[in-house]
């Protein structure tokens, strides 16, 4: 009977594990959104735009993944 360790070792591993980078990108987008609220004018618009762009890309990756 295989042990847990041998069963895990025999499982195929994904070439790219995207879960961690996706979580980091979501966190970065949220942090940028918070930062944008402390700014004003064009700076606020630029940082808000960047936050939205990251969130949009993460959404696209999740739907394609």
pLDDT in 10s for each residue of the chain, 65 residues: 445 555 555 556 665 688 889 999 999 999 999 999 999 999 999 999 999 999 999 999 888 87
Roughly what angle, to the nearest 10 degrees, separates helices 41-64 and 19-36? Answer: 160
Tokens of 65: 């993944």
Helix (H, G, I), strand (E, B) or coil at 61: helix
Cβ neighbours, 10 Å, residue 58: 19
Q: Quick one: pLDDT at residue 19? A: 87
Q: Which of 26, 36, 33 is nearest to 58 (CA)?
A: 26
Q: Is the pTM of this model over 0.85?
A: no
């Amino acid at each position: 009977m295989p042990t847990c360790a041998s069963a895990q070792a025999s499982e195929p591993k994904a070439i790219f594990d995207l879960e961690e980078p996706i979580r980091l990108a979501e966190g970065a987008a949220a942090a940028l959104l918070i930062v944008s609220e402390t700014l004003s004018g064009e700076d606020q618009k630029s940082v808000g735009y960047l936050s939205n762009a990251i969130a949009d890309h993460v959404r696209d990756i999740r739907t394609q993944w």
